[in-house]
Structure 1
Amino acid sequence: MANENTLPLYDKIWLKYTFSRVMDSFTLFFLLLLLGYRIFYDRNYSIPCVLAMLCESWFTFTWILTMNTKWSPVRTITHLDRLMLRVSESELPALDLFVTTADPVLEPPIITVNTVLSLLALDYPANKLACYVSDDACSVLTFYALVEATKFAKLWVPFCKKYNVQIRAPFRYFLDEDDDSNRKEFPEFHQDWLRMKEEYCYLKGKIENAAQNSIPLVEEFAIFSNTDKKNHSAIIKVIWKNKENLEDGLPHLIYISREKMPQHPHQYKAGAMNVLTRVSGLMTNAPFILNLDCDMHVNNPKIALHAMCILLDSKGEKEVAFVQCPQQFYDGLKDDPFGNQLVTLFLYVGGGYGGLQGILYAGTNCFHRRKVIYGLSPDNDIQIGKKNGGVINGNSY
């Protein structure tokens, strides 16, 4: 019997899509027949016919590429039980969480708040987590919303972990009425549920009221009084610090609005990610990073542990550079007739990429190995950033 400490933390299951392969091959065969007819038998060389042949040639070429890509797809299965046998909670690596937002009107702060709350409530030691929010609008409203959300998080995070809540973005959780029977059967849970919903409604009301009225620029918000979102110095504020380094506490929460100058291009989200990487490298310097857009939330609280199964198990090969998670969109149409859930991209084409080397980075929902982002080989063990850095030294920099 194999030693449990030597068993792999994840497995790749090779899938046999025989029917799909046959249909793809038939499609390619008919495309080649069509091109053969165009070239050898169709003597009409008018502009429309030539354009049609060029389009059909390009489609055939892309079909060959796609067909080869998804020919041998894989599905990755992680083993959380083996991970916890091999690594204790105190030995899990630190993880920096990046959230990016750019416009408090198009991306209302309550949406960003829900994303942040779902991250703060991850099933992962709180002293190993640090959440960085990049605000490219330099909005006092976004900062105010995060400050107020921290107060709610002190109640929300323990509630989620006590009752093993799966969807930890409050706005989605309280839309689900499937827990009616549980709330009636368990009075304590019912009371806590009512309290959490009341507290969330209070938080939402405060943020909406702040959006309609001016926020008092007290000392905490004074730095935003004369800022131009397109021309201002960097603002970095530690909203919450896990001072006691508690595993079951609240993770660090840091607000960042990077420097903006009209004469220098800011490179949009890519520039924000670069700044988040540099700032976090000096403050917490976690070896792994998760980046999310502000309008996304985690619907599996153990997702960080699943990612660690892959990132910590090299299988004797080179280390994995990043782990891309699929996206799922809520409030979609039944049966997804327009393909909004991107099933083809993540399940079929993405699985094929996994069989070749690895899926493409989708720009969000991704765990990165920090040293790879810095341009180093995964095998390079050089310490990056400030060793033993911590979120200290006040609120603004």
Structure 2
Amino acid sequence: MANPALSAPLYDRISRRNNIPRAIELIILCLIFSLLIYRLLSLKDHGFTWVLALLCESWFTFTWGLIISTKWNQVEYMTYPKRLLQRKLELPPVDMFVTTADPVLEPPILTVNTVLSLLAVDYPADKLACYVSDDGASPLTFYSLVEASKFAKIWVPFCKKYNVQIRAPFRFFSVESTSPQDVSLEFQQEWKRMKGEYEKLSQKIEDASRRSQPCELTGDFADFSNIQRNNHPTIIKVIWENKEGVSNGVPHVIYISREKRPKQPHHFKAGAMNTLTRVSGMITNAPFMLNLDCDMYVNNPQIVVHAMSLLLGVTNERDCAFVQSPQIFYDGLKDDPFGNQLVVLYEVSQL
């Protein structure tokens, strides 16, 4: 007899009831067309000013129509990660990409937190690999990642043991709700220990950033000696390798600084991503990739499992090529006066 869990879908596509918004949008459409017709019939009486207004309003109508067409049939996706695990499928490997370009504009501590949040996601560690592209060819960035990989050996088990939701340390220790009050004595002790270790890591990176060189350019750091930011060969360093293939350990961490020459176009982040895919194809060659900027972090540790539920749950491989998660910005100004939170894009246009 077949197990119902094996035949249950990995996700559901739920249609929203949006009859009232549709009615409002149709009324607005009628009003806009009435305005355009009025403009056309009155052009002879008002001259060039109304021609310009007609062009602007026509363009607004076109863009508004595009937005409404994408929102007309609204759906939600409900994923079921537990069903994916119940099927005991061979979970595919995932390569995680992080890109950074300037250790001054993008401080390494931000990159470190992004990497740590990725290393601690709820997915078998032997199926993950984190690649960091450093377009600045900075020994400080490399040094920071080396130190972060040491911290990850205690940070990852801590997050998974206590089911920590926010797994970027700088956010975890800054949120009031994570204060170890009204919790077990064991967690209080572990929380204090982890905070102390993270402060040591932050201090090491801060001290290194104040020196002309973060450390002696010998050993693994020898490749960074006598190089220019825009004129150097490719640098690839395996910072940490999960040799034993432990599923609850720390995933691979690989540092990449692509070759740069003064007279060759680099194509900025697109070029960095191309290099990441080529290098990862030679090392781990995962069929799926997760891409983040260096100033982002994973606020949901099950992001990979949710994405796999969508990517593996489709009956036709052509029905789903990528999964996009909305971006939420932290430390924004009150009431967002400059629109940095992109509310119109994420909560209106993409609703």
Measured against the shorter chain, the TM-score band is: over 0.9
Q: Distance in 1 between matches of 2:238 and 2:299?
A: 26
The one-letter amino acid of 1:305's match is V
TM-score, length of structure 2 as denominator length? 0.94
Tell me, yes or no, if the aligned pair for 1:140 and 1:221 is still in contact at 8 Å: yes
- Tell me the equivalent position of 2:83: 82
Query: For the Cα contact (< 8 Å) 1:110–1:204, is it kept in 2?
Result: yes
User: Within 2, Cα distance between the matches of 1:255 and 1:24?
Assistant: 50
Aligned to 2:155: 156
1:176-191 → structure 2 map (5 Å cutoff): 176-180=175-179, 182-191=180-189
Map 1:236-251 onto structure 2 (within 5 A): 236-251=236-251
Relative distance call for 1:347 and 1:4 in structure 2 (3 A) is farther
Which residue matches 1:300?
A: 300
* Alignment partner, residue 232 of structure 1: 232
| Structure 2, unaligned runs of 5 or more | none
Count, aligned residues: 348
1:184 Cα deviation (Å)? 4.6
Give the CA deviation at 1:319.
Answer: 4.7
Q: Which amino acid aligns with 1:246?
A: V
Contact 1:28 1:63 in 2 (8 A): no
User: Could you tell me how far 1:67 is from its partner in structure 2?
Assistant: 1.4
Give the structure 1 partner of residue 92 of structure 2.
93
Is the partner of 1:254 in helix, strand or coil?
strand
Query: 2:192 aligns to what?
Result: 194
CA distance in 1, matches of 2:309, 2:339: 30
Match of 1:139 in 2: 138
| Structure 1 CA distance for aligned equivalents of residues 203 and 20 of structure 2 | 53
Contact 2:121 2:304 in 1 (8 A): yes
Task: Provide the residue aligned with 2:44 in structure 1.
Answer: 43
Q: Which residue of 2 aligns with 1:367?
A: none
Q: Deviation per CA, 1:200-231, whole angstroms, max 9, x where unpaired?
A: 11111110111111222122211111111111
CA contact under 8 A between 2:172 and 2:178: conserved in structure 1?
A: no
Assess, with a 3 A threshold, how the Cα gap between structure 1 residues 315 and 188 changes in structure 2: closer, same or farther.
same
* Counterparts of 1:141 and 1:311, CA distance in 2: 37
Counterpart of 1:256 in 2: which secondary structure?
strand
Give the partner amino acid of 1:36: I
Specify the alignment match of 1:117 in structure 2: 116
Question: Structure 1 stretch 3-12 or stretch 290-299: which is displaced more?
Answer: 3-12
- After superposition, give the CA deviation of every residue in 1:341-389 in whole Å (9 maximum; x if it has no partner): 33443454335xxxxxxxxxxxxxxxxxxxxxxxxxxxxxxxxxxxxxx
1:262 is aligned to 2:262: yes
Percent identity between the two aligned chains: 59
Cα distance, 1:257 vs structure 2: 0.2
Distance 1:76 1:333 in 2: 31
CA distance in 2, matches of 1:143, 1:160: 24
Q: 1:55 to 1:249 in 2, by over 3 A?
A: same
User: Deviation per CA, 1:276-316, whole angstroms, max 9, x where unpaired?
Assistant: 00000000001100000000000010110000001111235
Q: Distance in 2 between matches of 1:281 and 1:87?
A: 26
What secondary structure, in the 3-state scheme, does the structure 1 residue paired with 2:40 have? helix
- Alignment RMSD: 1.8
Q: Does 1:328 align with 2:310?
A: no
Amino acid across the alignment from 1:78: T
2:43/2:51 contact within 8 Å kept: no
| 1:389 matched residue in structure 2 | none
Which has the larger helix fraction? 2
Q: Hey, what does 1:282 align to over in structure 2?
A: 282
CA distance in 1, matches of 2:181, 2:220: 39
CA gap 1:111/1:46 in 2 versus in 1, 3 angstroms: same
Which moves more between the two structures, 124-133 or 30-39?
30-39
